[in-house]
Structure 1
Amino acid sequence: MIEVATNLIKQADYLLITAGAGMGVDSGLPDFRGVHGFWRAYPAAKKLGLRFEELANPRWFEKDPKLAWAFYGHRLHLYRDTNPHKGFRLLLEIAQRKKEYFVVTSNVDGQFQKAGFDEMKIDEVHGSIHYLQCIKPCRDDIWSADGVDIQIDTERFLAREPLPKCPYCGAVARPNILMFGDWHWISSREDAQQGRFKNFLHRAKESLVIVEIGAGTAVPTIRLLGEQISQNYNAPLIRINPREAQGATVGLALGGQEAIEKIYEIVQ
């Protein structure tokens, strides 16, 4: 099946890479697969009886901002300190040989940019932890999280003061991430990314291949997007997923890095 997938990639002029949380697993990042996977990554959340979808909710920034920033502050530093695995670099080499490529990801970690992918060729559909906004929000504005350093009391799983603040009104700031039950996410940055993605699809409609990596069914945003584009553009979908590879033109039941390395060897 690797040979079939590789031939499909070779034949296409345009490459669409779609990625979910599984893409970062080989870099050592948690994918929060199931409640127990989340609790293994965040034992403090287990003590509080909070699942991922409950803690990843903007209400905590109003109800208990120190708890909210303990969770997101830890993730911010984790993503900053993590180096993308080798598969990112190999995938970028494959992508750069094409007429054009684009990345669509539900990940908020900024790993594609860190690996060297063009910022203007990435759509982060759930936003990015590396940008902040006001919790209200008092205005339609976002700003970089560069320089934000969250100190965490690991025993109580609470962020220490000072917490990030809105520079305009002084309210607590939050990551510019689309959370569960979120009515106040400022989508302007992702709107611009989505516009560039739509333009890419218009150019790529005659010769497109989709490579999906680590997109599961628990939060199926990326999975459904790839299937829809595959159908609408008559484009082959290569699904890389060690546990849920079914439902695509080619399914590779492998981890992201292993599958990319095998494809890269043949592409060479």
Structure 2
Amino acid sequence: MHDPNAGFIRCARLIAQADGLLITAGAGLGVDSGLPDFRGDEGMWQAYPALGKARMHFQEIANPAAFRARPRLAWGFYGHRLALYRQTRPGPAFGMLRDIARHLRRGAFVFTSNVDGQFQKAGFDADRIVECHGSIHHLQCMEPCSAAIWPAGDFSPEIDADACELLNAPPLCPRCSALARPNILMFGDWGWLEDRSEAQQARLDAWRHTVERLVVIEIGAGTAIPSVRLFGEHQGAPIIRINLREAGTTSGKGVCLPLRAGEAMNGIVDALREEGFPGA
């Protein structure tokens, strides 16, 4: 039988011996903040009934072809998400992770497939975050006419929620006036500009060389699109895997916790306190 308390103690001891923390996060962490999981049709269609009526799958709307064929629908979907992420408060797991990192000599770095900007909002250093699939808070040209990537802060989408359509003018490229799109890696996407994410990755690589005793906390990273899970597994470090539905297994040094992010982090923090970890 799974004993969560024993797992929490093992997690606490792995963290206590580390000098650096790599947080690898997928969509499951956003769900803990109250955000919908768009990977499953049921969840997406509940959030976007118009797409459900049209039987549009996530892969069909999260696709640059949708911006070319039906730009108001595509921006209705992404504009709604942009507004949602702007108003969402990060769940409690973010603060607990941040507090743990403060007491490690090399601090923490984040590697996430989430495009929602929640780590920045939760107070993590923007220079210590890799958004491997890009960010909804940044835009690029649809063409693209250049390698420019710019913040989406000046765009305030107005959405017809019933139709999932953008009501106001969509953002345009400031250089050529073509339609702008989120700087997000979509399905079937050959036009994504990856310079921003590559610069983030270079900073992570430099930090990684300074860490002697790394521990990885992986949260909500599934196997359907395994970018995050594989990156953490390739670090050669013990992994604390937090995943309610796909905990799976890790190496002998790792720990799997089939729990939600907040519940697991609460248990880890309590165990750290018992182990005398500073600040816990």
* Fold similarity call, TM over 0.5: yes
Alignment partner, residue 239 of structure 1: 241
CA distance in 2, matches of 1:125, 1:89: 22
Alignment partner, residue 259 of structure 1: 264
1:35 aligns with 2:41: yes
The partner residue of 1:19 within 25, 32, 50 is 25
Q: Which one-letter code corresponds to 1:188 in the other structure?
A: D
DSSP 3-state at the match of 2:256: strand
Q: Which one-letter code corresponds to 1:250 in the other structure?
A: V
DSSP 3-state at the match of 2:64: coil
The partner residue of 1:59 within 65, 86, 99 is 65
CA distance in 2, matches of 1:130, 1:212: 23
DSSP 3-state at the match of 2:191: coil
- The residue correspondences of 1:195-214 to structure 2 (distance < 5 A) are 195-204=202-211, 206-214=212-220
Alignment partner, residue 84 of structure 2: 78
**TM-score relative to the length of structure 1:** 0.95
Q: Which one-letter code corresponds to 2:271 in the other structure?
A: I
CA distance in 2, matches of 1:218, 1:5: 26
Offset from partner CA, 1:147-177 (integer Å, 9 cap, x none): 2111112232211231111111111100000
**TM-score relative to the length of structure 2:** 0.91
CA distance in 1, matches of 2:141, 2:128: 27
Q: Which one-letter code corresponds to 2:246 in the other structure?
A: E
Q: Which one-letter code corresponds to 1:238 in the other structure?
A: I
Consecutive unaligned residues in structure 2, runs of 5 or more: 1-6, 273-279
Say whether the 8 Å CA contact 2:48–2:164 is kept in structure 1.
Answer: no
CA distance in 1, matches of 2:64, 2:228: 22
Alignment partner, residue 188 of structure 1: 195
Consecutive unaligned residues in structure 1, runs of 5 or more: none
Alignment partner, residue 177 of structure 1: 184
Q: Which one-letter code corresponds to 2:46 in the other structure?
A: R
Q: Which one-letter code corresponds to 2:228 in the other structure?
A: I
1:138 aligns with 2:138: no
Q: Which one-letter code corresponds to 1:105 in the other structure?
A: T
Alignment partner, residue 92 of structure 1: 98
Alpha-carbon distance change, 225 to 6 in structure 1, aligned in 2, over 3 angstroms: same
The partner residue of 1:47 within 50, 53, 60 is 53
Q: Which one-letter code corresponds to 2:198 in the other structure?
A: D
Q: Which one-letter code corresponds to 1:60 in the other structure?
A: A
C-alpha root-mean-square deviation of aligned residues, in Å? 1.1
Offset from partner CA, 1:78-104 (integer Å, 9 cap, x none): 000000011111110001111121100
> How high is the sequence identity, in percent, across the aligned residues?
54
CA distance in 1, matches of 2:19, 2:266: 21
Alignment partner, residue 9 of structure 1: 15
CA distance in 2, matches of 1:187, 1:236: 29
1:126 aligns with 2:133: yes
DSSP 3-state at the match of 1:39: helix
Alignment partner, residue 174 of structure 2: 167
CA distance in 2, matches of 1:216, 1:38: 17
Q: CA deviation at 1:33?
A: 4.0
CA distance in 1, matches of 2:75, 2:19: 43
Q: Which one-letter code corresponds to 1:240 in the other structure?
A: I
DSSP 3-state at the match of 1:102: strand
The partner residue of 2:74 within 56, 68, 71 is 68
**Alignment coverage as a number of residue pairs:** 263
Alignment partner, residue 276 of structure 2: none
Offset from partner CA, 1:183-216 (integer Å, 9 cap, x none): 1111111111000111122222x31110000111
Q: Which one-letter code corresponds to 1:220 in the other structure?
A: P
Alignment partner, residue 215 of structure 1: 221
CA distance in 1, matches of 2:70, 2:38: 22
